[in-house]
Amino acid sequence: MNPLYLASGSPRRRELLTQIGVPFTVIAADIDETPLAGESPAAYVERLARGKAAAGRATLGGTAGCVLGADTAVVLDGRILGKPQDQADALAMLMALSGREHEVLTAVALLDGQRSQARVVRSLVRFRAIAEQEATRYWASGEPRDKAGSYAIQGLAAVFVAGLNGSYSAVVGLPVCETAELLGDFGIPCWQDIPAH
């Protein structure tokens, strides 16, 4: 069985892979995340997931193994909401999301040097109305600073979520069902470290 490498610094992605019993090694994969002119949000997240996997693969040299890359984008009215630049940017995003439904796109890509596969998962998240004072307190917590769309569904921002249609784990950062299917296609089973009872 090929070893698995995760080309991501995200602690959420590490937790989700660990949750499904897949051993892995984290490797660096820094790429330019600037959207291309005219690029759709779905094409953007898939390009980044594939790019991260390829960048991670390049660091391995001739070492055998599969590399997993992923990327998540929060999309409102066709516009990608990235990580906030500062408090004003974060508050503007949160107020734009307030009382509305938005899209979260997460792409996962896996490559082994011979093959490359990717999936894009679309989820819809509905926020209740958020008061500006709440958004300011949320920013002060520090949680939104490095999050796409300025929020973490698995964290303090859970109180804003009135509804979810799609994959919770994809909104967190890694679609577990689709990731498990991809891993299976590459001969990497889930639940490897679960002891028999």
Q: Confirm if 75 and 102 have CB atoms less than 8 A apart.
A: yes
Name the token pair of 7: 């080309």
Among 30, 32, 71, 112, the one annotated catalytic: 71
CB 65 within 8 A of CB 24: no
Work out the number of other CB atoms within 10 angstroms of the CB of residue 85. 8
The two most distant CA atoms of the chain are separated, in Å, by 54
Q: How many CB atoms lie within 10 A of CB 141?
A: 12
Residue 71 annotated as catalytic: yes
Q: Is 179 helix (H, G, I), strand (E, B) or coil?
A: helix
Active-site positions read 71
